[in-house]
Chains A and B, each alone.
Chain A
Amino acid sequence: MLTDARLVAAKDLRIEMRSKVTVSQVVPFAGLVLVMFGFALDANRPTLDLATSGLFWVTVLFVAVMAVQRSTAIETTDGARRALLLAGVEPSAVFMGKAAAVAVQLLAVELVLIGGIIVLYDASIEEPLLLVATCVTATAGIAAAGTLLGALVAGVRARETVLPILLLPVLAPVLLGATRAFDDALGAVAVNGWSWLAMLVGFTVINVAFGVTAYGVLLEET
């Protein structure tokens, strides 16, 4: 399964590198969202300091919707989903590969966004290990849930609008947990970020397990 997952992930990442969608569209979009939030809240500096973590993760969720839509479109545009079934690739490997590719893209965007909140919002990182662990865990959960829901709406005509409606509520626990853990990592609010990280681990494990189990059914039916 890991060989097939690597194959699918490498293919998706290669397509993204060629299309340059992440670099030329997604990163500028994420940067703009961060700047707009900055404009909206800069007049009230304490509010911006308190909201930095939440703004960061809301931006990540917007980016995740775009990344998942793109990942889904790769397989639906010219019948590649059907060809994956014919090739005999394990659906769980397709799921793992596509989720991994989405996660890599999100992590790259998050790296830029962390630079953005340091420069634009004057944030400081007090617990780098917690920050990195939160990014990795939350991103894995987002990618897993997104890839699964992307497959669910793949056969829907208006999937571009349906996906965010389904995905954002599902990702609400990530927004909550990752924001709290980031609050601790950035020293913005006195909370136990590690306990929120544990909640994120649970969310991620559940979504990965559910994705590995259910993706095959969705691949067949949509």
Chain B
Amino acid sequence: MRLVVDLNRCQGFAQCAFLAPDVFVLHGGEALLFTSRFDEGLRDQVEQAAAACPVQAVLVDFSDEPAKGAEGHVG
């Protein structure tokens, strides 16, 4: 499972860093670091973060998850 943040959209609302602190880390006021590959155990956190982004900048691809088949999902 992979994710990417569209940094052209990102406006630093930091909602992802609240809801998925194991995946998204804010450095200083604005710089956002994130783990682009994540495990099943962090799936809930990532889904919450993607849904919460006010500008929908967190794009998630669950396609390598067997249970869900090959359906791509853009958060």
A binds B: no
Q: Which residues of A contact B (CB under 8 A)?
A: none
Q: Which residues of B contact A (CB under 8 A)?
A: none
